[in-house]
Amino acid sequence: MSDSLAGISVLLIDDSNTIRRSGEIFLSQAGAKVILAEDGFDGLSKVVDHKPDIIFVDVMMPRLDGYQTCALIKNHRDFHEVPVVMLTSKDTLFDRARGKLVGSDQYLTKPFSKKSLIEAVIAHTQQYEDVDYGNQ
């Protein structure tokens, strides 16, 4: 499990230092290259600079919220295929519907576990033929 995400770059956009730090620890322990961003504007520039394999974006952020950030990524011709997972502490049907409208691929409720974070990355970045299920 320690290198299950080797070769995968993950962008984590969240205004909470605690969430960014825990996400970075969980993902880097699993072998992923982790890029951190503090808000939507910072995140958008890092999408362009780093071309991540998957993006986690917090819903509630100042200046540019997660919905706006996701919509901008999904409407860009170079990045619309990149999976975007919304991170939120308020998980209502309305929030999920709004996330779908802007093109998000999944919703993950905060606080997330290491397992749920890694499973989301694997689900959205690895093709079935590339997955080694080992003895599952």
Question: pLDDT at position 113, please?
Answer: 95
Residues 47-106: tens digit of each pLDDT? 999 999 999 999 999 989 999 999 999 999 999 999 999 999 877 888 888 999 999 999
Asked if 33 and 8 touch (Cβ cutoff 8 Å), the reply is yes
Tell me if 24 sits within 8 A of 72, measured CB to CB.
no
- Per-residue tokens: 67: 């919905």
Question: May I ask the CATH class of domain 9-130?
Answer: alpha beta
9 strand-pairing partners: 33
In which element (H, E) is residue 84 found? strand 84-88
Q: Where are the domains of the chain?
A: 9-130
CA distance 42 to 86: 16
pTM of structure? 0.90
pLDDT of residue 92: 83
